[in-house]
């Protein structure tokens, strides 16, 4: 264990964990899902799930990682006994599948940023987006994103992940706040805010709203698949876990809310709210550049900043997903970091060719692995810690265990069943063709 890597500083760990949480889920998924699912109603469910279910689980993942100093497979076996090892494998596989499509979307942001920086905004954003969202260019984007992610992970915990987070996260925050302030000065900002947050309380009573808000909360916080366990396994300190969990959740939620404060005023200002209601995955990749183009030369640089934020957010998250698989090879098989990274990247890159060639796979993989899979992982952790006898040396705070037992377990069970029932509907379009 002495050879195991560690973060150089507490701030480094926190920024890395926040970097994992803050990602495309916040800036691209959250605003668009909120507006499509009842605005403030979605936000309310989201906040409730974060406070009551996700926060306790976040504490648990941090605790498991720190206590065991191992990645999920060994960590869960140590905490729950060998019978729980399978959950670690399931989480590791889930991380690999999520990265396979996540890296495709990260590729869209890289290509959009690169194109805007080098050549300016495309004349026809819709055509440009459809050319990069699936097919050869999407594969190029996917390869670039995987290459970058692999490079960071090969450099290790301190030299790669921590260094990346220390640079990227502050830059991301500054850019985000600056853009939100700028967006608030646009005419139409008020209309955008209303569209974003107008509560449609009837939505609160629909299962899809509830499951998508809850699933999204897990995805956004990187919960339910051992990414936080893995990152926390490189920490040593004694600091309050509740405090760390609170900071990660607060930063993640703040970025999600601010993300919407940028996109909706912009979309309203450019009169594109109508096109949003068709809410396809690509709306923001089309709506934003369309609007920015009308601002002339300035628009190009604003678009570069906008895509730059997306790139930073996407890469720091992709890195955390890859670390789960890499750490599993290192810890389980004793491989060198280089070898582990190479094998994990090769497998995930291959798998990603599917969503890169046909973007309908992204929705399907997201729902199956990014929503249902994470709810399942969360439920298993709630069972282990809330009902089982986890070997955590009496350290799982009693509130956390009670919350997971009496609230987390039933809530997750119901949500999981609902989301399983919903799956055939999501997969059907793919099977029909």
CB of 320 to ligand TRP, least distance (A): 4
Of residues 17, 21, 340, 364, which one binds ligand TRP by CB under 6 A? 21
CB of 95 to ligand TRP, least distance (A): 6
- 212 makes contact with ligand TRP (CB under 6 A): no
CB atoms within 10 A of CB 359: 21
CB of 27 to ligand TRP, least distance (A): 8
Window contacting ligand TRP (CB under 6 A); options: 4-12, 49-57, 219-227, 334-342: 219-227
393 phi, psi to nearest 5 deg: 50, 45
Window contacting ligand TRP (CB under 6 A); options: 80-88, 130-138, 214-222, 289-297: 214-222
CB atoms within 10 A of CB 301: 13
47 is written with which tokens? Answer: 């906040």
- 352 makes contact with ligand TRP (CB under 6 A): no
DSSP state of 187: T
Encoded one letter per residue, x for contact with ligand TRP by CB under 6 A and - for no contact, window 227-246 reads x-------------------
Q: Which residue has the tokens 């949003």?
A: 276
Nearest CB to ligand TRP, comparing residues 219 and 361: 219
- 71 makes contact with ligand TRP (CB under 6 A): no
CB of 124 to ligand TRP, least distance (A): 28
Distances (CA, A) of 94 to 98, 317, 366: 6, 15, 11
| Total of residues contacting ligand TRP (CB under 6 A) | 16
List b or e across 34-47, with b for residues whose CB sees 16 or more CB atoms inside 10 angstroms: bbbbbbbbbbbbbe
Residue 369 CB contacts under 8 Å (≥ 6 apart), including other chains: 94, 97, 98
- 97 makes contact with ligand TRP (CB under 6 A): no
- 220 makes contact with ligand TRP (CB under 6 A): yes
Question: Is there a contact between 304 and 113 (Cβ–Cβ < 8 Å)?
Answer: yes
Nearest CB to ligand TRP, comparing residues 320 and 325: 320
345 is written with which tokens? Answer: 């990247």
- 79 makes contact with ligand TRP (CB under 6 A): no
302 is written with which tokens? Answer: 């604003």
CB of 295 to ligand TRP, least distance (A): 28
CB of 91 to ligand TRP, least distance (A): 9
Spatial separation of the C-alpha atoms in residues 338 and 356, rounded to whole Å? 26
The footprint of ligand TRP on residues 358-377 (CB under 6 A) is 374
CB of 315 to ligand TRP, least distance (A): 11
3-state secondary structure of 286: helix
The footprint of ligand TRP on residues 268-307 (CB under 6 A) is none
Of residues 68, 103, 317, 326, which one binds ligand TRP by CB under 6 A? 317
- 249 makes contact with ligand TRP (CB under 6 A): no
Question: Is there a contact between 338 and 331 (Cβ–Cβ < 8 Å)?
Answer: no
Q: Which helix (H) or strand (E) holds 19?
A: helix 10-21
The footprint of ligand TRP on residues 26-65 (CB under 6 A) is 26
DSSP state of 201: G
Nearest CB to ligand TRP, comparing residues 290 and 359: 359
The conformational region for residue 77 under phi > 0 = left, psi -120 to 50 = alpha, else beta, is: alpha
CB of 395 to ligand TRP, least distance (A): 24
Of residues 320, 341, 367, 372, which one binds ligand TRP by CB under 6 A? 320
Q: Which residue has the tokens 């997201």?
A: 366
- 122 makes contact with ligand TRP (CB under 6 A): no
Beta strand extents in 276-352 (DSSP E only): none
- 100 makes contact with ligand TRP (CB under 6 A): no
Q: Which residue has the tokens 């690999």?
A: 96
- 133 makes contact with ligand TRP (CB under 6 A): no
Q: What angle do CA 183, 186, 190 make, to 5 degrees?
A: 90
Q: Which residue has the tokens 């912009």?
A: 266
Of residues 219, 231, 329, 361, which one binds ligand TRP by CB under 6 A? 219
Nearest CB to ligand TRP, comparing residues 28 and 361: 28
3-state secondary structure of 24: helix
Q: Which residues bind ligand TRP (CB under 6 A)?
A: 20-21, 23-26, 98, 219-220, 222, 225, 227, 317, 320-321, 374
């Amino acid at each position: 264990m002495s050879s195991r890597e560690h973060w150089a500083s507490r701030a480094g760990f926190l920024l890395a964990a926040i970097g994992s949480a803050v990602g495309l889920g916040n800036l691209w998924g959250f605003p668009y899902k909120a507006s499509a699912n009842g605005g403030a109603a979605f936000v309310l469910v989201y906040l409730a799930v974060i406070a009551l279910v996700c926060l306790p689980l976040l504490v648990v993942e941090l605790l498991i990682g720190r206590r065991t100093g191992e990645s999920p497979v060994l960590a869960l076996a140590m905490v729950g006994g060998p019978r729980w090892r399978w959950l670690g494998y399931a989480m590791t596989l889930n991380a690999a599948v999520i990265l396979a499509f996540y890296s495709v979307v990260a590729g869209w942001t890289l290509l959009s940023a690169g194109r805007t920086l080098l050549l300016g905004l495309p004349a026809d954003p819709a055509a440009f987006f459809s050319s990069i969202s699936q097919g050869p260019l999407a594969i190029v984007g996917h390869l670039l994103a995987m290459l970058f992610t692999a490079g960071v992970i090969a450099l290790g915990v301190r030299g790669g992940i921590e260094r990346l987070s220390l640079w990227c996260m502050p830059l991301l925050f500054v850019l985000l706040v600056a853009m939100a302030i700028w967006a608030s000065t646009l005419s139409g900002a008020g209309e955008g805010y209303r569209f974003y947050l107008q509560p449609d309380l009837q939505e609160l009573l629909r299962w899809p709203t509830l499951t998508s808000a809850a699933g999204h909360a897990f995805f956004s916080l990187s919960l339910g698949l051992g990414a936080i366990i893995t990152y926390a396994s490189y920490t040593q300190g004694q600091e309050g876990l509740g405090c760390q969990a609170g900071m990660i959740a607060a930063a993640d939620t703040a970025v999600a809310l601010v993300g919407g404060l940028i996109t909706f005023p912009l979309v309203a200002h450019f009169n594109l709210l109508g096109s949003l209601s068709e809410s396809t995955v690509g709306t923001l990749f089309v709506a934003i550049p369309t609007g920015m183009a009308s601002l002339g030369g300035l628009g190009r640089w604003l678009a570069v900043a906008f895509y730059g934020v997306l790139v930073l957010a996407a890469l720091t998250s992709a890195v955390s997903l890859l670390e789960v698989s890499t750490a599993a090879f290192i810890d389980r098989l004793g491989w060198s970091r280089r070898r582990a990274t190479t094998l994990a990247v090769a497998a995930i890159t291959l798998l990603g060719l599917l969503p890169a060639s046909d973007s309908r796979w992204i929705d399907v993989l997201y729902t199956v692995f990014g929503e249902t899979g994470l709810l399942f992982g969360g439920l298993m952790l709630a069972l282990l810690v809330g009902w089982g006898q986890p070997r955590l040396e009496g350290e799982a705070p009693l509130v956390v265990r009670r919350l997971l037992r009496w609230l987390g377990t039933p809530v997750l069970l119901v949500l999981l069943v609902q989301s399983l029932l919903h799956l055939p509907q999501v997969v059907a379009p793919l099977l029909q063709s």
